[in-house]
Amino acid sequence: MKLRILKHRVRLLILPALILIAGPAIGDPKDYLRPAEIPAPSNNHLTAARVDLGRVLFFDTRLSGNNQLSCATCHQQAKAWSDGLAKAKGAAGRLLKRTTPSLINVAYLRHLGWDGGFRSLEQQALIPITSADEMDQGMDELIAELGQVPKYQGMFDKAYPDEGINADSLVKALASFQRTLISGEAPFDRWLKGDEQAISESAKRGFSLFEGKANCISCHDGFSFTDGGFHNIGLPEGEDLGRFKIVPVPVLKRAFKTPTLREINLSAPYMHNGLYKTLAEVVDHYDRGGVTAHGLDPNMRPLFLSAQEKQDLIAFLHTLTTEVSLEQTIVGEK
């Protein structure tokens, strides 16, 4: 383990001289470690009472207009807080245009949603509730309804003293709970800490490919394996313009946020439109350099991976999923 870290440090030392000819930086192992703290805004510090309230609200179907949908309907614990569908379903079974993104590690993201349209978890929590396409609930009606539930008065008072039950305290509680949806220790993490038996030799080769020939690290870096940015990766073109609708510059046309790779075994189907059902299909897409070349991110290019290299890369990706079931780590409504 010490030798592997030393090699990484040596490569980082020579990087400034080689960056123009050698491509992207090689990651330092410590960059993959879990951050020491969960970030939260100054007006919504994490407390146990706020997380508990947010958890109960997250699983409460009162948050939808027909009292049939909760946040957990689309963000299911066993599926890395996604839903396993190619396209999400909203109010009255209405099919939405994108797949439900995983909520794993959302606390660390600067922009939320496939197009980055939300700048905070508080904002992100509000919009789906009131959207006619999603949960279709009127906020005034919801606050009145929650006010009739005895347990909520006490929980809101404990979590947000003197604020009462209102839209602001509601979304702050939901955001607090979502900030705790952090990926657990995966085999890859144990390997980083020195357990050479934690992952296979194939996965170790896959990690080298991930950082080197396959260049996955150019977008999937850090603890959550995402740069939080937006990229056109050459998916079949459709009407969805992605980030371009938020920031209308040509390079962002059909660019979508880089998703986390943590808990990736649980979050299929993949891509913003749920195009690929398996990791093998995803690797094949990148190996081709994408399907379409129009507006393609400059890091996208054919990889010319061998069959063995593809298997190794997939073996590494499997090591990013926690071995303990997510359902054993966080319980639903209390």
User: How do residues 269-316 score in pLDDT, each as one tens digit?
Assistant: 999 999 999 999 999 999 999 999 889 999 999 999 999 999 999 999
Q: What percentage of the chain reaches a pLDDT higher than 90?
A: 85
* pLDDT for 20: 29
Q: Average pLDDT, stretch 180-187?
A: 96
Q: Would you state the pLDDT for residue 92?
A: 87
Report whether the peptide linkage leading into residue 298 is cis, meaning its omega lies within 30 degrees of zero. Answer: no
Contact between 232 and 296 (Cβ < 8 Å): yes
Asked whether residue 98 carries a pLDDT value surpassing 50, the answer given is yes
302: left (phi over 0), alpha (psi -120 to 50) or beta: beta
pTM for the model: 0.88
pLDDT score of 161 more than 50: yes
Q: What is the pLDDT of residues 206-252, one digit of tens each?
A: 999 999 999 999 999 999 999 999 999 999 988 999 999 999 999 99
What is the per-residue pLDDT for 1?
42
Q: Is the pLDDT of residue 99 over 80?
A: yes
Alpha carbon distance 98, 185 (integer Å) = 29
A 10 A CB-CB count for 10 gives 11
Please give the average per-residue pLDDT across 251-260, as a whole number.
Answer: 97
Q: Which domains does the chain have, with CATH numbers?
A: 25-34+184-318 (1.10.760.10), 48-179 (1.10.760.10)
Per-residue confidence at 16, pLDDT binned at 50, 70, 90? very low
Mean pLDDT of 76-101: 95
Say which residue, 55 or 237, is predicted with more confidence.
55
Structure confidence at residue 28 (pLDDT): 73
Buried b (16+ CB within 10 A) or exposed e, 118-157: bebbbebbbebbeeeebbbbeeeebeebbeeeeebeebbb
DSSP 233-293: --PPP-S--BGGGTS--GGGTTBEEPPP-TTGGGS-SBSTT--BSSHHHHHHHHHHT-S--
